[in-house]
């Protein structure tokens, strides 16, 4: 069965970086795009960007441009999302989610990774 | 950026009633790129509807989507206890992809 398993919750200091992993299984890794979406406490969903696991091409929301990097490791079927220069506004649950293409709907989601940014 | 405005913010209904959720876009969207998700507390969102009107695998037929252009609707006939949750619409046709702010369906 399709699974996206994310890394565990993290606590970070302001100014630090976070690196979340998302391990995919149960499907052909390079056939589906992966999106990253976050959700601040009590808030709605916010799209961060997308990566094509086949060639590694990415597209980021302008809001995160310069701070976010999405990568993949095809040898382990794992996706990574790095976010730098963290502030308290980055406290959120971060999700990876699968889509059939760059403009496709998100049919499978990871369980989410809670990141808390606090001094 | 396409802004999606969902209404109402909260819908208070009893089990067995019909829920009608609205999602209005700031500009016209190809309906192929409209989806709806359900989210329960502590869980990841779950895909309900894609292409504005197609039910995802395993979604009961009491849930249906419709709409075109700038106005889209999610209808839940005969609310079941497990349907009380938050619902989000999404557009994936233009970057950045965007979500509505959500509609909470709560038990009256």
At A46-61, the pLDDT tens digits run 999 999 999 999 999 9
B98 at interface of A, judged by CB pairs closer than 8 A? yes
Q: End-to-end alpha-carbon separation of chain B, Å?
A: 35
**How far is CA A86 from each of CA A37, A48, A81, B77, rounded to the nearest angstrom?**
16, 15, 13, 43
> Nearest C-alpha of chain B: how many angstroms from A17?
23
What pLDDT score was predicted for residue A86? Answer: 98
User: How many contacts, defined by CB atoms under 8 Å, are there between A and B?
Assistant: 54
A104 at interface of B, judged by CB pairs closer than 8 A? yes
B41 at interface of A, judged by CB pairs closer than 8 A? no
Tell me which residues of chain A, numbers 29 to 88, contact chain B at a CB-CB cutoff of 8 Å: 35, 37, 44-47, 50, 59, 61-63
What pLDDT score was predicted for residue A102? Answer: 86
Query: Which candidate, A93, A85, A112, A106, places its Cα nearest to that of A22?
Result: A112
* Residue A23 pLDDT level (bands cut at 50, 70, 90): very high
Mean pLDDT taken over chain A:
97
* Radius of gyration of chain A, Cα coordinates, nearest whole angstrom: 13
CB contact under 8 A, A103 and B56: no
Pairing assessment for the beta strands A18-25 and A45-51 based on DSSP bridges: unpaired
CB contact under 8 A, A105 and B101: no
CA A19, A32, A40, B84 torsion: positive or negative?
A: negative
């Amino acid at each position: 069965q399709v699974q996206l398993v994310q890394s565990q919750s993290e606590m970070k200091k302001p100014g630090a970086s976070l690196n979340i992993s998302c391990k995919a299984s149960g499907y052909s890794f390079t056939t589906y795009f992966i999106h990253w979406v976050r959700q601040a406490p009590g808030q709605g969903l916010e799209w961060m960007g997308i990566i094509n696991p086949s060639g590694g091409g990415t597209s980021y929301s302008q809001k995160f441009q310069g701070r976010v990097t999405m990568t993949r490791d095809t040898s382990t079927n794992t996706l990574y999302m790095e976010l730098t220069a963290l502030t308290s506004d980055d406290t959120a649950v971060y999700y990876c989610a699968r889509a059939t293409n760059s403009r496709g709907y998100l049919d499978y989601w990871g369980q989410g990774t809670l990141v808390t940014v606090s001094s | 950026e396409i802004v999606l405005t969902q209404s109402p913010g909260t819908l208070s209904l009893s089990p067995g009633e019909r829920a009608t959720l609205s999602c209005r876009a700031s500009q016209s969207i190809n309906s192929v790129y409209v989806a709806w998700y359900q989210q329960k507390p502590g869980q990841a969102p779950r895909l309900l509807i894609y292409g504005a009107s197609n039910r995802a695998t395993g979604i009961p037929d009491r849930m249906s989507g419709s709409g075109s252009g700038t106005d889209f609707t999610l209808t839940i006939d005969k609310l079941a206890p497990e349907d009380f949750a938050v619902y989000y619409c999404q557009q994936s046709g233009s970057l950045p992809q965007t979500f509505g702010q959500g509609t909470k369906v709560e038990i009256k």
